[in-house]
Amino acid sequence: MTPVRIQGRKGRLATLACAALLASSPLAAQEFAPEHHAGARMLVDELADEGIERAWLERAMGQARYRQEVLDAMSGAAERRLRWDEYRAIFLDAERIDGGVAFLAAQADPFARAEAEYGVPEEIIAAILGVETRYGSITGRHRVIDSLATLAFHHPTRGDFFRRELGAFLEIVHEQEVSADAPLGSYAGAMGYPQFIPTSYRAYAVDFDADGLRDLWTNPVDAIGSVANYFAEHGWRPGEPVVHTAAGPARPPAGIDFNRAARPPAARAGALRDAGIVVPDDIDADARLLPVAVEEGEGNWRYRLGEHNFYVITRYNHSHLYALAVVELAEAIARARGLEAHWLQAVDADDEEARP
């Protein structure tokens, strides 16, 4: 695993933050050429000290452009504005399920190798790629360098985070001899089949076809191995369930901390039962679970109980809605292949009508 060298600069983030305050002129709001933009100049200095050619860095940053639409999009993510039934409908359609079946068939060998090597079920890997980019068919329309430069120097609260991502992106494209203005991605700078942010690309991308290059932009084999490696590195437990169906009162009961995305399961099964949540009988009272309550229509609530592997999925995207979409798409793909998703335990017979 390649180390994330960009993280070694944490001690200088305060200096970069000060430099961002200097980048407030109309000219700086339109471009990030180092001769005009103090923050970009300091980042170039930093990366040049690490061995990247200064002239290359200056050309790369000179190609970046400010994009107001990127800042606008950051406040409108679907995970923050949709109910579960609305969010689910985006990802659980027949086209995405059939596409997953076809993608698994076309890449049968790398999927089988990834599951054998990393212990992550094929359908989970496929569902991540299906949710993120429809199996590589929609990888983003924003120039990554524009998105990251805009967010690095103009986001009101997360500038430091995106400066690290911008630095990591420049390291990646320089290392792989890709023009800095070529890669397209999401408004937040996520790239390729799996929509890795640059620091994740550096840390978890693998050369799964052994061609000497870790290519997540155009190579589905590397993408499959890299998603599996990401989950393995974040503690995926092979053979364990992901999430259980539960039941409960008409509205989520008080005193239960639902939807603790990206936090390990902490609620005792016995305490959930005491609060009125119907937990499967075979789960021990002392077992730790991640309780999820999602609204399907006005006032209609569904309950799920995440295990450790559900928590691992939320490390990929911190939304509990995202994790549920992944596991339900994975189950739908498995079912369409004529297989039983024995590792999932996500949807029971009562949910048949809701299935696509």
- For the residues of 234-293, what is the DSSP string, one character each? TT--TT---EEEEB--SSPPTT-----TTS---EEHHHHHHTT-B--TTS-TT-EEEEEE
- Exposed, middle or buried: residue 80 (CB in 10 Å: 0-12, 13-18, 19+)? exposed
**Following DSSP, what letter does each residue of 23-82 receive, concatenated?**
--STTTTTB--TTT-HHHHHHHHHHHHTT--HHHHHHHHHT-B--HHHHHHHT--GGGT-
Q: Which listed residue (123, 132, 165, 331) is catalytic?
A: 132
- Rounded to whole angstroms, how far apart are CA atoms 122 and 330? 9
Whether 86 sits among the annotated catalytic residues: the reply is no
The phi and psi torsions of 258 (rounded to 5 degrees) equal: -80, 160
- Which amino acids are annotated catalytic? 132
